[in-house]
A and B are shown apart, each in its own frame.
Chain A
Amino acid sequence: MKKIAIVTASVVFLLIVVGLVLFWSIEPDPEPELEPVPEEEVTLYYLNEREHNLEAVQKKLPETESRARRVHQIVDELKSSPDEAELSTLLPEDLELYSVFFEGQTVYLDFNDALIGAAEGTTGEFLFLHSIVNSVIDNLPEEQKLVQFLVDGEMRKTIGPYGEESGHIGVKYPLGPEWDIVE
């Protein structure tokens, strides 16, 4: 009887040991892997400091079906300078795109007042504005041809910092892209 008890105990012990070994040796289930977010290539326009003109740069942005979302992504991405030393952003850090809306061939971009005084001089303003216009229009469907800038929901004549008549480039009407100023 004692023998049976010892054998049973040994078997149970062995089973426990084997069980434990098996338990530890089996890899825990890997965490369920996150689907990688599909990305799309876009073309953004930055300042080339050597040529003093715009340069087209390919960037990857998360895929989206929404045109408005795409415009927000573009403006966000355009605010940080690319890795290349001679390329830099023309957008002020505190520039914020409040909303985007579409009417006919025009894309309305409603910015905060950091748009005002964001660039100086005819050429400075022209490059700054078209860094945005070119980047937005180049990456939207063909129907969208023009960009209308708004500041706090309102149209301004120019982006001059000393009143709306102190700038150079007229922004009260929509602007089309400019390819002549791209390297």
Chain B
Amino acid sequence: MRKKIIKASVFLLILIITTSPLYAENIGLVDVEGRLLNEVSAWQSEGSVLLDLRDLFFSLGFDVSWQEETQRLEVDAGEDEYKFRPGKSLVAVNGENLVPFDPPHLHQERLYLEVNAVENFMTEELGKNTTWNPSRSQLQLVEADESEPVDADERSADPVADFLGEMDDEERAEGELLVVIDPGHGGRDPGAIGPNGLMEKEVALDISHRLADRIESEYEQIETHLTREEDVFVSLEDRTRIANELNADMFISIHANGHHSQYARGFEVFTLSGEASDPSAEELAETENSVLKYEGYDADELDDVAWILHQLRATVHTRDSQDLARQMVDLMEDKLPVPNRGVKQAPLWVLKDAQMPAVLVEAGFLSNPQEERRLQSSDYQESVVEAIAKTVYHYLENNH
């Protein structure tokens, strides 16, 4: 009972505090031809829509029931049966497989899920492609083979698709290697801001452009690709998604650091720490025992080959990334007039999905006025770039 009260108050808090102009308004579920199938109750606010899962699945013709005792929404979708639980990012499928998923919110015995998460679930689990049309408050079913929604011009721009579109034109030659350079922050996100107003996003973009130029001009066989060419916002997940889709050989994220103390100085190179190298797995490990016990299964008997393979791959990348980082700080120490703070490990969100050696370079502290001046100067930027470019070359030469 207490848990229920906590969950209900958490939901109310979400409603009241984080999304204040929030209102209940039904959305329309429309079929391929645009005919209204049913109305689905929803909570809406600017930029966020939470759909009532019971309404939604009922409208799709599934048997839906809310189990008060076990606090589960059971959905019988014909072939498969799903169980959703409030606040849990796992969905039980036919009582055994567990799919990592966004957690639904509980409110008055109804489970609400963000419309994007709903769309992902529909595509991946039910094989139903959908298009969310915010201006009409409609979720439209689209043909499975039809990637374009009916209202194509209302679709939001996809930076990844744009990048990938560009890349198709310039095919990679045989033996050519690709480094994806990721200028941190951008657009509405300035990153850290120095005492004299220098923004992390500017420094990151300057250094990244210089790095790409230097690598391309000095090393013929290495291509570069920037995750952003200008001052635009790119989500953290899209940054590695670009690198993964391009099958890049290396991912380098460029940042400038911040510290509570204005005297902190020096450069450092981060790699992803173990604890977040596979966050979905981390969460699985956290919750699967209790969920499995609930379902009457023994966690020890769960044999998941894909999971083991994923762990192995993550371990290999972790080791490679650390090699790369160590080589990088050594060369930076030779070129830069500031202290070497070494190789560090942290659960950096931008690195978590990288499927290649990946590092995040902190070129200096913007919070330190002296280093802020350095970070702005082309001399310092060129020294940083020279050290990174050399490391990239040596590393790729030895590992390919």
Say yes or no: B189 contacts A170, CB within 8 Å.
no
Residues of A within 8 A of B362 (CB): 121-123
**What 0/1 readout, one digit per residue, does chain B (177-217) give for beta carbons within 8 Å of chain A?**
00000000100111111000000100000000000000000
* Interface: A163 (CB within 8 A): yes
**What 0/1 readout, one digit per residue, does chain A (141-183) give for beta carbons within 8 Å of chain B?**
0000010000111110110101101111110111110000000
Chain A residue at smallest Cβ distance from B187:
A162
Residues of A within 8 A of B260 (CB): 47, 88, 90, 119, 124, 127-128
Say yes or no: A101 contacts B6, CB within 8 Å.
yes
Given A166-B191, A168-B348, is A122 in contact with B367 using a C-beta cutoff of 8 Å? no
Say yes or no: B259 contacts A52, CB within 8 Å.
yes
Residues of A within 8 A of B282 (CB): 173-174
Given A162-B190, A166-B191, A168-B255, is A173 in contact with B347 using a C-beta cutoff of 8 Å? yes
CA–CA, A119 to B191, complex, Å? 11
Chain B residue at smallest Cβ distance from A48:
B261
A107 to B: closest C-beta gap in Å: 12
Say yes or no: A170 contacts B279, CB within 8 Å.
yes
Interface residues of B in 141-200 (CB under 8 A from A): 185, 188-193, 200
Interface size on B, residues (CB 8 A): 51
Say yes or no: B276 contacts A121, CB within 8 Å.
no
Q: B13-21, B25-33, B38-46, B295-303: which lies at the A interface? A: B13-21
Q: B262-270, B309-317, B376-384: which lies at the A interface? A: B262-270
Instruction: Count A-B contacts at CB 8 Å.
Output: 131
Given A119-B258, A173-B347, A175-B275, is A153 in contact with B13 using a C-beta cutoff of 8 Å? yes
Given A121-B257, A124-B257, A165-B189, is A173 in contact with B276 using a C-beta cutoff of 8 Å? yes
* Interface: A32 (CB within 8 A): no
**What 0/1 readout, one digit per residue, does chain B (357-372) give for beta carbons within 8 Å of chain A?**
0001010011100000
* Interface: A139 (CB within 8 A): no
Interface size on A, residues (CB 8 A): 44
Interface residues of B in 75-114 (CB under 8 A from A): 103
Say yes or no: B349 contacts A165, CB within 8 Å.
yes
Interface residues of B in 269-314 (CB under 8 A from A): 270, 275-276, 279, 282-283, 286, 289-290
Say yes or no: B189 contacts A162, CB within 8 Å.
yes
Say yes or no: B256 contacts A165, CB within 8 Å.
no
Majority secondary structure of chain B interface residues (helix, strand, loop or mixed) = mixed
Say yes or no: A166 contacts B189, CB within 8 Å.
yes
B12 to A: closest C-beta gap in Å: 9
* Interface: B247 (CB within 8 A): no
Residues of A within 8 A of B18 (CB): 113, 151-152, 154
Residues of B within 8 A of A39 (CB): none
**What 0/1 readout, one digit per residue, does chain A (96-118) give for beta carbons within 8 Å of chain B?**
00010100111000100100000
CA–CA, A157 to B276, complex, Å? 12
* Interface: B352 (CB within 8 A): yes
* Interface: B235 (CB within 8 A): yes
Residues of B within 8 A of A113 (CB): 17-18
* Interface: A94 (CB within 8 A): no
**What 0/1 readout, one digit per residue, does chain B (52-93) give for beta carbons within 8 Å of chain A?**
000000000000000000000000000000000000000000
Residue among B200, B257, B268, B347 with most chain A CB within 10 A: B347
* Interface: A49 (CB within 8 A): yes
* Interface: A120 (CB within 8 A): yes
Residues of A within 8 A of B365 (CB): 121, 123
* Interface: B236 (CB within 8 A): yes
Residues of A within 8 A of B289 (CB): 104
CA–CA, A165 to B263, complex, Å? 27
Query: Of A105, A123, A153, which one neighbours B264 at CB under 8 angstroms?
Result: A123
CA–CA, A175 to B13, complex, Å? 24
* Interface: B24 (CB within 8 A): no
Residues of B within 8 A of A163 (CB): 188-189
Residues of B within 8 A of A90 (CB): 260
Say yes or no: A152 contacts B17, CB within 8 Å.
yes
A123 to B: closest C-beta gap in Å: 5
B253 to A: closest C-beta gap in Å: 10
Query: Of B17, B188, B283, which one neighbours A162 at CB under 8 angstroms?
Result: B188
Residue among A119, A121, A126, A160 with most chain B CB within 10 A: A121
Residues of B within 8 A of A160 (CB): 189
CA–CA, A84 to B11, complex, Å? 42
Say yes or no: B268 contacts A167, CB within 8 Å.
no
CA–CA, A120 to B368, complex, Å? 12
Given A165-B235, A166-B189, is A157 in contact with B257 using a C-beta cutoff of 8 Å? no
A98 to B: closest C-beta gap in Å: 8
Residues of A within 8 A of B103 (CB): 155
Q: Which 3 A-B pairs have the closest CB atoms?
A: A121-B258, A120-B258, A153-B10
In the complex, given contacts A49-B263, A174-B282, what are 10 additional A-B residue pairs having Cβ atoms less than 8 angstroms apart?
A121-B366, A121-B367, A123-B258, A123-B264, A124-B257, A125-B258, A127-B259, A152-B17, A168-B255, A169-B348
- Ordered by A's residue number, 11 sampled pairs between the chains whose C-beta atoms are within 8 Å are A47-B261, A99-B6, A126-B344, A152-B18, A153-B11, A165-B235, A165-B349, A168-B350, A168-B360, A170-B279, A175-B347
